[in-house]
Amino acid sequence: MNEPGVDLTIRQAIGGDGEAIARIREHALSTDDARVIVMAALLDDDLPQLVSAGVLAVNSRDRQIVEIARAYLAGQSELVDALARDHLVDHPDSLIVAWIASNAALRSSKKA
């Protein structure tokens, strides 16, 4: 998947598109894009899968996405909130992080 294809597929998967979700899961096995692996890990609630994403995260944006996803999957909603706010200041177009942050808020409110 090329850059625009990754962004579109992630957007569609966030929206619940079954075909996009299947593409994410399929490409997570062979991609060099950390965001695809992060998205697959989030869809499958698979914290260990983020190890591969961490290795492939070559820039600070991707490393931040991996860490935010790791905190989310570990149930650390306050940390997710803090990291996501910082990340979104610099990268307001980061759909994965906005999606993670909104789900962390929902998880947090369900626990209360």
Mapped to the 3 state alphabet, what secondary structure does the chain carry?
Answer: CCHHHHHHHHHHHHCCCHHHHHHHHHHCCCCCCHHHHHHHHHHHCCHHHHHHHHHHCCCHHHHHHHHHHHHHHCCCHHHHHHHHHHHHHHCCCCHHHHHHHHHHHHHHHHHC
Which pLDDT tens digits describe the chain residue by residue (112 residues)?
556 689 999 999 999 999 999 999 999 999 999 999 999 999 999 999 999 999 999 999 999 999 999 999 999 999 999 999 999 999 999 999 999 999 865 554 454 4
